[in-house]
């Protein structure tokens, strides 16, 4: 079970993690939370209805990692417009879509990252040397979302354009400063792949 997820009887998944692996995943999840930022409710805690009616941003984020996590709904790779008018129409549609969906998407990504942190904290409180992390079906889904977000974030920093074309990452020399990030990217990919397998019917 070490290094990959396995199915649990009755649903859910389990993986054996040592204290270093736990520390790496937890640190990355915390960084992801900081990157995503607080939600509207945290900005305005006195008004419980504020989040319900809050509108999100209409412009894409300036940070390339956030642009990868919150891409435009229209246009993008393979969807190049045929004319300036079509490009303007795509921008307008994307802005409108972003305004009404990004806050909810950010909240879901925050919830998934928090679920990862909490489950790892529960595991380390039981043992200082790691152990077997057991996830329910719902927790498995949250972990899958968080692992995907972490890989997108790291992939963006590594300038990975095509998720299926990562052969060059394996050829990086050990002295390359990107090597630790590459190792984390590939390792998280393996975790993600085996977790997807456990969730298949």
Better-predicted residue by pLDDT, 165 or 151: 151
Task: Please name the helix (run of DSSP H) or strand (run of DSSP E) that holds residue 155, with its range, or none.
Answer: helix 137-157
Return the pLDDT at 1. 41
Radius of gyration, CA atoms only, the chain? 19
Residue in the structure block whose two tokens are 């972003």: 98
Q: Is 62 exposed, middle or buried (0-12, 13-18, 19+ CB in 10 A)?
A: exposed
Return the pLDDT at 79. 54
Better-predicted residue by pLDDT, 77 or 121: 121
> Does the pLDDT value for residue 87 go beyond 80?
no
pLDDT tens by residue, 162-192: 776 777 888 888 898 989 999 999 999 999 9
Contact at 8 Å (CB) between 185 and 161? no
Does this model's pTM top 0.75? yes
Q: Binning pLDDT at 50, 70 and 90, where does residue 115 land? A: very high
* Percentage of the chain modeled with pLDDT above 70: 83
Return the pLDDT at 49. 56
What's the whole-number average pLDDT of the chain?
84
CA–CA separation, 99 vs 61, rounded Å? 12
């Amino acid at each position: 079970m070490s290094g990959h997820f396995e199915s649990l009887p009755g649903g859910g998944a389990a993986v054996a993690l040592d204290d270093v692996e736990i520390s790496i995943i937890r640190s990355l999840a915390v960084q992801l939370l900081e990157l995503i930022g607080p939600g509207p409710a945290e900005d305005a805690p006195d008004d419980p209805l504020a989040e319900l009616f809050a509108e999100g941003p209409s412009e894409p984020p300036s940070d390339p990692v956030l642009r990868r996590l919150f891409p435009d709904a229209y246009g993008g790779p393979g969807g190049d417009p045929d004319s300036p008018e079509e490009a303007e129409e795509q921008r307008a549609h994307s802005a409108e879509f972003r305004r009404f969906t990004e806050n909810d998407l950010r909240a879901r990504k925050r919830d998934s990252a928090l679920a990862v942190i909490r489950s790892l904290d529960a595991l380390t409180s039981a043992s200082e040397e790691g152990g077997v992390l057991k996830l329910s079906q719902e927790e498995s889904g949250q972990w899958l979302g968080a692992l995907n977000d972490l890989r997108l974030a790291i992939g963006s920093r590594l300038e990975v354009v095509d998720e299926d074309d990562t052969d060059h990452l394996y050829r990086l020399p050990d002295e390359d400063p990107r090597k630790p990030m590459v190792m984390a990217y590939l390792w998280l990919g393996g975790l993600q792949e085996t977790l997807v397998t456990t969730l298949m019917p």
